[in-house]
Structure 1
Amino acid sequence: MPCAALAASTLLWMAAGPAPARAEPPTPPPAVALEPLFAEIVSRAGALKTEAEAMRQTQALATEAFKTGVADLAALDMKGQQIVRDRGNDGDLACILRGIAEDLPVKLAALQLASDAGARDNALRELIYLLNDNVEVLVAPPGPASGIPAGDAT
């Protein structure tokens, strides 16, 4: 019984004291989508996705403006990849942007080479998926650092 009484009094004593200060969780840095280059990527990818969805619905062919838009977006993604890689501060984002930059021309070529409606629909679905990923990866909160030193090839 004396041990139980001691434990109870200790518990009451600790509860009566001031609450320990709570450490506020660190505020994550803002998503890179707020920066002008990355906001431009999000805007262009979203517009191209909308255009590709309309092409899928209407069976319209890719216009020269659409093809140029995809090529320009790939170049912006590569530029963004280099910026993020050189900073070394956002996990796998550099690798993802590079992958998107490399895949966009491939998906566009598949669309242009599609020989029938089924292949064309599949190529458009894959392009739409990639454009959507391009938006989502940039508006997501930053992830943990990948540990890749700045300037290393990704």
Structure 2
Amino acid sequence: MDCSIALALMLRGAAPADLVGAACPAAVVRVAEGRTATDPISHEPFYAGLVQDANALRAETQDFNKAPTLALRATPRFQTYLQRLQNLSAGDLKGHVDLKKRGTDRDLKCILLGVSRDIANKVNDLKSAASDADLAQALTNTDLLLRDNIDVIVTPDTVDSGLDCVAEFGKDA
């Protein structure tokens, strides 16, 4: 099976182990299984912590999305979950600041700023859902963003896209 087909199937719910028989590079399989980060920065304790937190939040998001109901939002577990999302958002912003201080031109510094802001928006969506269906959609969107949060940290840069944080997010970025 072609690797791109296997990856597409995995994104639709197939197990990462299904990639093993595909023509996927070993690094792709390891990342899909959550075993190995491939970008050197993801091995630094701070960034590894962001990945670990996002993985844990993804699992919790998926658990909540098994039976989404507005009553869920009043539970202490959900309130703690929202706080943990806000903490991840703050961590991503801290990562942006760290990379900016290092003087890196890597896209990751801009992406972390954007993800940080997007997580804050997802928290608002979770809080303001008007129906069980709205909450389910907000949880799905949060899950996708958390996956992206992990991917941008563990996936090595292949090219510098030239993303300009200032043009994208303003003079304080």
- The residue number in structure 2 matching 1:48 is 57
Question: Structure 2 CA distance, aligned partners of 1:41 and 1:30?
Answer: 14
| Equivalent residue in structure 2 for 1:67, among 75, 82, 96 | 82
> What secondary structure does 2:66 align onto?
helix
Give the gaps of 5 or more residues in structure 2: 1-37, 165-170
Equivalences for 1:1-154 in 2 at 5 Å? 30-59=39-68, 61-62=72-73, 63-145=78-160, 146=162, 153-154=172-173
- 3-state DSSP of counterpart to 1:54: helix
Uncovered stretches (5+) of structure 1, i.e. residues with no partner: 1-28
SS in structure 2 of the partner of residue 58 of structure 1: coil
d(CA) in 2 for partners of 1:44 and 1:74? 11
Identity %: 29
Once the two structures are TM-superposed, the CA of residue 143 in structure 1 deviates from its matched residue by 4.0
Give the 3-state SS of the residue equivalent to 2:65 in structure 1: helix
TM-score with structure 2 setting the length = 0.65
C-alpha separation between the residues in 2 aligned to 1:108 and 1:91?
Answer: 27
Q: What residue in structure 2 maps to residue 4 of structure 1? A: none
Q: Is the contact between residue 45 and residue 73 of structure 1 (CA under 8 Å) also seen in structure 2?
A: yes
TM-score scaled by length of structure 1 = 0.72
Q: Partners in 2 of 1:147 and 1:128 — Cα distance?
A: 25
Deviations 1:103-135 (A, max 9, x none): 111101111111112211111111111111110
- How far residue 80 of structure 1 moved from its aligned partner, in angstroms, is 0.4
Alignment match, 2:24: none
**Whole-angstrom CA distance in 2 between matches of 1:73 and 1:97:** 11
The structure with the largest alpha-carbon Rg is 1
Q: With CA pairs under 8 Å and 6+ residues apart, which has the higher RCO, 1 or 2?
A: 1
What is the distance in 1 between the residues matched to 2:131 and 2:163? 45
Aligned residues: 124
The question of whether the paired residues in 2 share the 8 Å contact of 1:77 and 1:97 is answered with yes
**Which stretches of structure 1, 4 residues or more, deviate above 6 A after TM superposition?**
none
Deviations 1:11-47 (A, max 9, x none): xxxxxxxxxxxxxxxxxx9531100110000000010
